[in-house]
Amino acid sequence: MKGLLLALQSVAASALRAGRVGGGGGAVRLAGGERAVRLACTNSRTGAGRAAFLAAAAAGAGAGLSSTAMCSNGEGEANLQSAAAGHQIPASQIPSTLPQRKSIDEPDETPEHNPLLPFPESALRHDTYSGVTLDLTTLAASLDTDEFGHMLHKALEIWTAEHRRGIWLKLSTAQSHLIASATSQGFDFQHAEPGYCVLTKWLPKETLSRLPNGPTHQVGIGALVIHPLTGKMLAVQERTGPAAKRKLWKMPTGLTDPGEDIAVAAVRELKEETGLDCVFDKIICFRQAHGGLFGRSDMFFVCLCRLAPEAEERVRNGGEVELLPQEEEILQADWIDMEDYATQGVRRESPLYRTMNGAMLKAAKKGISYSSLNGDEGGDGDDGSHGFVAKNLPVGFRPGSNTIYVSSKL
């Protein structure tokens, strides 16, 4: 184990020197003597993501944390093994204690497989709601339509007798010819993503379906960054979209990716749209809206971020902050007065935007008050430093961690 830690720490140090850890791909922070690990696995398949994971694993192992518990996307073991292979760490030295990540609703003990079922056990997953998922993507794409229809009919008879409730059916794009067989037996669409779709069927006849709807919300972020010397805010003008139509300046914004924390998305969007390396501080406010694309609702979080320490130090020593607008989406990026931003066109007339911009102005009052610099604990009084700070904590009773956002005043 000691040899593994030394190897991981060496890789982490190389990654830090190369500037790949703490940028857009991932972040590792050791806080004082606690050796607290903060890992943002925004894309574990990139070199930066693997380097960040290795750095976190090196630090976390020294703190008694498992690598899986530090990586919220549940790919800890795979990341560690692939990265280790790339850096000549023998597989025999990879800790064997990395637990497999299970779905939140997966039972501790899987029911015994019924041999009468026409589908293999590997294609089935049971949940804690007496439901079953039939994952056809694990089977051949060339399943015969008629044969599948007979197999599904038999399976439904068995599951009904076993008092199963919700049945989930996952098919790949290549298996779309099987959809008609499923819908003819009472299945309906639940959601679809590139590459697959999911259909569901509620078996109990005496009750209405208790299965959840498909995804109802999209989650977006807006990133507020204040120049450490001028007090101006970072703003962009987009090439297309509603703001571009009105020629409005706006914060760097974007949608979270699947499995991505709000804090990580804010840092990523800043890097993608402006080229800046930044650090998430807290959520200032958030807005809920309805009636979006295909009836989806929208949650939009305004996040206060600050320049990464090395960039801020460069500015305070007389250097410049280079802005690199994303060519495909961003027309220009600049630092502008917050008052000018808040009083643009239609926003000046909007009660919603007056309130949102007022919260941003308050957060930037008297320069800026960062929770990450003042400590997570907020003091008494109304000094503009209120907000929601991010804490990534182990779940404890199962592998993995979640990010909780709590008031900086609590």
Catalytic residues: 272
Q: Are 178 and 136 in contact (CB under 8 A)?
A: yes
- Phi, psi (deg, nearest 5) at residue 47: -60, -40
Q: Are 149 and 181 in contact (CB under 8 A)?
A: yes
Sequence-ordered alpha helix ranges (H) in 299-390: 309-316, 338-342, 345-348, 351-363, 371-374
Per DSSP, the residues of 177-204 read GGHHHHHTTT-EEEEEETTEEEEEEE--
* Residue 182, number of CB atoms within 10 A of its CB: 22
CA distances from 31 to 8, 169, 189, 378, 396 (A): 19, 45, 47, 18, 21
Q: Which residue has the tokens 């993995």?
A: 400
Give the C-alpha separation, 202 to 210, whole Å.
8
Give the C-alpha separation, 400 to 78, whole Å.
14
What is the gyration radius of the CA atoms in the chain, in angstroms?
25
| 228 Cβ contact list (under 8 Å, min separation 6) | 306, 307, 312, 315, 316, 368
Give the C-alpha separation, 200 to 327, whole Å.
42
Name the amino acid, one letter, at 203: L
Give the C-alpha separation, 386 to 189, whole Å.
43
**DSSP letter at 93?**
G
Token output for 129: 């709601």
* Torsional sign, CA 161, 166, 168, 169: positive
